[in-house]
Amino acid sequence: MTVQKTGGCLCQGVRFEIAGALNPIVACHCSQCAKTSGNFAAMASTATSNVTMLSDETLRWFQSSDTVNRGFCSRCGSNLFWKDGRSPEIYITAGTIDQPVGVKIAEHIHVTSKSDYYDITDGLPQKAEW
């Protein structure tokens, strides 16, 4: 599906536009996503070339592993992006995309790492890893 979407952080220091295919949302339950979001992270991917930054004055990147960087707003703390340097795709946290988002959660990943305070009960596919 080709979409024209916008989004950004809570304080509007980071604004972006997505022009192109937006893939269904993946809910990641790994410990790193939990640390950066406070819960599991729901993210939709698209080609990095589909994302145009409209404002990025407060965008900062944190290298969370050898190949992965996470983008966040340095002013309001919004968790915005996940990017593996080996991939042409970027993952965008679904809650930062202006509504209507237009895609739904398709699956859960890293479910063996999920916290014990919630259950996954939506009937969608669950993967132990990626």
pLDDT in tens, 101-125: 999 999 999 999 999 999 999 999 9
pLDDT of 45 = 98
Q: Give the CATH fold of the 2-113 domain.
A: 2.170.150
Instruction: Give CA separation, 4 vs 17, 21, 103, in Å.
Output: 7, 9, 13
Question: Model pTM?
Answer: 0.94
pLDDT of 3 = 57
Task: Summarize pLDDT for 59-82 with one digit per residue, the tens.
Answer: 999 999 999 999 999 999 999 999
Structure tokens at 70: 């996470």
- Average pLDDT for residues 7-23, to the nearest whole number? 96
- pLDDT-based confidence at residue 1 (cuts at 50, 70, 90): very low
Query: Which DSSP letter does residue 66 get?
Result: S
Asked if 54 and 17 touch (Cβ cutoff 8 Å), the reply is: yes
- State percent of the chain over pLDDT 70: 98
Domain segments of the chain: what residues?
2-113
Question: Which one has a higher pLDDT value, 72 or 130?
Answer: 72
